[in-house]
Amino acid sequence: MFTLGHPVTEVPRVNSLLLRLVCGLLFAALVLGAVVHPPDNLTQGLGMMLPASMLLGVALKGPRRNLIPKKKSAVPVPASEAPPSV
């Protein structure tokens, strides 16, 4: 199935610079929110660290796509075809 000339399995790629900028801004907002309104207990603070670390990782490294390209499976070519028996 095709849509607008692209296969359905193809994911539209977001500009990595834009993605890094947005993740950096979200990380900064999360940190500033934690500074202005500190968490009530340790559990809330630890719960805020996971999304913050994920946002910071994307902001610093960018989106990590396949580092090792996948090998395309070769379509098996049928051996010499036998003539149809009558």
If the chain, 86 residues long, is cut into consecutive pieces of 10 residues, what is the mean pLDDT of each piece?
53 76 94 91 89 92 70 66 67
What is the reported pLDDT for 17?
87
76 occurs within a structural domain = no
pLDDT at 45: 87
Q: How far apart are CA 76 and CA 41, in angstroms?
A: 61
Q: What was the pLDDT predicted at 6?
A: 53
Query: 37: which DSSP letter?
Result: S
> Does 72 map to a domain?
no
- Answer yes or no: is 52 within a domain: yes
Q: Could you give the number of structural domains in the chain?
A: 1
**Structural domain that includes position 49:** 15-61
